[in-house]
Amino acid sequence: MSSTAAVEIRGLHKTYRRRGRLRTAVDRLDLAVPQGGVHGFLGPNGAGKTTTIRMLLGLVRADSGRMRIFDAEVPRELPRVIDRVGAIVEQPRFFPTFTGRKNLQLLASAIGVPRARVDAVLDEVGLGDRGRDRFRGYSLGMKQRLAVAGTLLKDPDLLIFDEPTNGLDPAGIHEIRETMRGLADRGKTVLVSSHILAEVQQVADTVSIIGNGALLAEGTVASLLAGAGATGPTARVWVQQGERAAGLLRDAGFVVRPQPDRALLVSRPDRPLDPSEITRTLAGHGLYLSELSPQRADLESVFLGLTAHTGPSAQHHAGRGTGGTGHPPPPGDQPRHGVDPHAGGPR
Amino acid sequence: MIRLVGAELDRLRARRSFWVFALAALLIVVAFQTATNSTLRPPTAEQVASQREAYEQTHREWEQQCGPGSPGAAETTPAGDASAEPSSGPDDPDDYCANVPEPQLSDFAYGQQSFADAARSSVQISTLLGALLAFLIGASSIGAEYASGAIGNWLTYVPRRGRVFAAKALAVALATAVVSAVLSAAAVAGPALLARGYDLPLTGLGDVSALAGRSVGLIAMAGLLGFCAALLTKHTVAAVGIALGYAIATSVSSGVLAFSKHAEKVVPWTPQANFQAVLEHDYSYQVIDGTGFGEGSESRTAVLTFEHGLVYSLVLLAAVLAVSLLVFRRRDVG
Ligand SMILES: Nc1ncnc2c1ncn2[C@@H]1O[C@H](COP(=O)(O)OP(=O)(O)OP(=O)(O)O)[C@@H](O)[C@H]1O
Ligand SMILES: [Mg+2]
């Protein structure tokens, strides 16, 4: 294992037994999170993101595989590096009847951080004036911020956020994104899991995409998008007599998806899309375009292409570890198996 | 480690239920002192008067029945009561007078206890209450962590589970020991103050103090058992269920054993008897030899020694702690 990675996972495996039935949550997963920057850890619901993070933090036992955080073999050497790691797993979980401040004070005294730091981190996340309210009475966003404040107590080098924007409003999502970016800009490593790509694409430097517990793709956002681009992006076409145009384009070998606003999304699965080909085909039949705009490929389509067949109930996906070779469906394709419907369409 | 114990103690102290349980137990122990007061207090003039009155009335009745010139004393049966003659029924004055001695004033005296006896009952009550309270404190402290999921968060800050377990257990033991020390002190101080007020000698104070000291140990142990029960089941309520089940099983088994010739084989291995042996420094119980009833059966007293009780209790506690630690170390935290 290289020593430059913040997190490195090899062959991680975990099977849960529920009422006598075995369910593989993480399937020989390989993962590498480079030091510095934001790393998106992506996968549909039930892909095994939370389970992986739990194993990394020693909360759940792995069946097999090796994990490393910085230079420490975990979970064996976790105590040695835990001061450099801050984590929020799933929901922020604190004592509901204690105030936010009391909750942090307890954590601070357990890890030997001066109590004065509690007020500092509360201010940092904007909870300074609500610190004396009970945790129970916090809104979801406040709970999330308290959890972030908790991770900042020890000024860690690696922050692990599991779906940190779950249930937050746009302002809250923006705030979390800013926080993650700010931490990365200060040289920290942020590992953020999500099934909502829109939020990760904007902030992540590198990503890993998993499905059914196994790695499907990894790399920088740019390289994954370039991989998607190679199979041809999509063009948005607006033309009178849309139905006739669609038929003509299909005859010419294009893939055409009519849109609700009567525009057509046109792509070419066999080779890179050449817009002039569309113009030529239609003009040859007396149809003239009123609009033709290229649609930027986004991570969403890469993701959907990779994970379309790896929903919670789907069979294991064969290919893995090959960056961006999946065939992305055109943007605007509806999310399939278990992918959050709020994930958003093309932008 | 000291840091961790400090944090756990701080958490226990911040829990409202801790104070509610502790205060409730203290209030009951204090309230119990009114009962202690009535056993230690010398009778008031009013009580002496009513005692005298009760005596006199009973004596009058006795005299009418059995005194000189009464039917019982004349040794005659009431005229026309021929049918009653062969057998002497319970109302037969003759029989009645033979069995009932002349009432004495001392029979009507208020039972005034010694300080030692009063303090002993007081400490026994406080031990029972304290053990219940400590079990609840121990169980709810960890039960709340599982209920809220805060335990998972906690472990991401302090991943050394062995230490986390030790710190939590130690904090429960310390906190319950402090509370039970207050309870025990109140349970002894109450009778002592009352006895002084009535000019009674504090004989046996040393023994009672030792009893109170052993009570503190037992209560802390109850706290640890509650902690382990809730840790193993992950639920405060389940731990309370275990305690209830134990209480029921104990009362049933002690009822069964009271009439059993097997008592001597079984009793030394029941937790209850051993806890008693620790608390009371030796525990005596009745054993019936023979069939258990009627002729040929003889009841005798057997003793479970303090040492037996102590070793038993410590081994039990160590075993429960060890199993809990093992489970806590290996268990996935979701
Ligand atoms: N404690 C558990 N017992 C049994 N099965 C579990 C347990 N935790 C997770 N699983 C199963 O493991 C699989 C992976 O779950 P996990 O929570 O890791 O997914 P995820 O990627 O975090 O999903 P999401 O995006 O919904 O949070 C799922 O099929 C889930 O049902
Ligand atoms: Mg999850």
Cα distance between residue A91 and residue B148, in whole Å: 11
- Beta carbons of B6 and A79 less than 8 Å apart: no
CA distance B148 to chain A (A): 6
**Tens digits of per-residue pLDDT, A112-170?**
999 889 999 999 888 888 888 999 999 888 898 899 999 999 889 999 999 888 878 88
Q: Which atom of ligand 1 is nearest to the CA of A52?
A: 18
Rounded distance, CA A127 to CA A170, Å? 18
Residue A89 CB partners (closer than 8 Å, separation 6+): A50, A53, A54, A57, A59, A160, A162, B152, B153, B156
Residue A233 confidence (pLDDT): 66
> φ and ψ at B320, to 5 degrees?
-65, -40
User: Is A109–B159 a contact, with Cβ atoms under 8 angstroms apart?
Assistant: no
Q: Residue B236 Cα, ligand 1 centroid: separation in angstroms?
A: 26
Picking from B222, B198, B195, the residue whose alpha carbon sits closest to that of residue B208 is B195
Q: Are strands A189-194 and A158-162 parallel, antiparallel or unpaired?
A: parallel
d(CA B288, nearest CA chain A) in Å:
50
Give the residue-averaged pLDDT of A27-53: 90
C-beta separation of A188 from A36 below 8 A: yes
As for ligand 1, residues whose beta carbon falls within 6 Å of it are A 16, 18, 23, 25, 43, 45-51, 163, 195, 312; B 334
Q: Which of B156, B158, B170 to mutate to test the interface with A (most CBs of A within 10 A)?
A: B156
Which H or E run contains A216? Answer: strand A214-220
Three-state secondary structure call for residue B281: coil
Residue-range domain boundaries for chain A:
5-227, 231-295
- Chain B residues in contact with A26 by the CB 8 A cut-off are none
Fold of A231-295: Alpha-Beta Plaits (3.30.70)
Cα–Cα distance list, A7 to A52, A88, A197, B154, B196 (Å) = 12, 16, 21, 21, 72
* Residue of A13, A27, A51 to mutate, ligand 1, most atoms within 8 A of C-beta: A51
| Dist CA B167 CA B169 (whole Å) | 6
Cβ separation of B159 and A79 shorter than 8 Å? Answer: yes
**pLDDT score for B62:** 79
**pLDDT recorded at residue A273:** 78
Residue ranges of domains in chain B: 2-38+114-330, 45-76+89-108
Q: Tell me the pLDDT tens digit for each residue of B218-260.
A: 999 999 999 999 999 999 999 999 999 998 988 888 777 776 7
Which of A50, A90, A340, when mutated, tests ligand 1's pocket best, judged by the most ligand atoms within 8 Å of its CB?
A50
What is the signed CA dihedral for B165, B163, A70, A49, rounded to 10 degrees? 0
Question: Which secondary-structure segment (H or E) carries A51?
Answer: helix A49-56
Cα of A34 to nearest chain B Cα, Å: 21
Residue A85 near residue A152 (C-beta atoms within 8 A): no
Locate the ligand 1 atom nearest the alpha carbon of residue A210 and give its number. 21
pLDDT at B150: 92
Over 60: is that where the pLDDT of B89 sits? Answer: no
Nearest to A109 among B10, B330, B334 (CB): B10
pLDDT score at A227: 65
Other C-beta atoms closer than 10 Å to the C-beta of B47 total 13
Token pair, residue B177, equals: 């020991």
* Each residue's pLDDT tens digit, A57-101: 999 999 999 999 998 998 999 999 999 999 999 888 999 999 999
A111 in helix, strand or coil?
A: helix
Distances (CA, A) of A115 to A109, A119, B233: 7, 8, 34
Number of neighbouring beta carbons within 10 Å of residue B216: 22
* Residue A311 pLDDT exceeds 70: no
Beta pairing class for A37-42 and A85-88: unpaired
Superfamily of domain A5-227: P-loop containing nucleotide triphosphate hydrolases (3.40.50.300)
DSSP state, residue A14: E
Neighbours of A229 (CB within 10 A): 16
- pLDDT, one tens digit per residue, over B150-205 is 999 999 999 999 999 999 999 999 999 999 999 999 888 888 888 787 777 777 78
The confidence score (pLDDT) of residue B206 equals 85
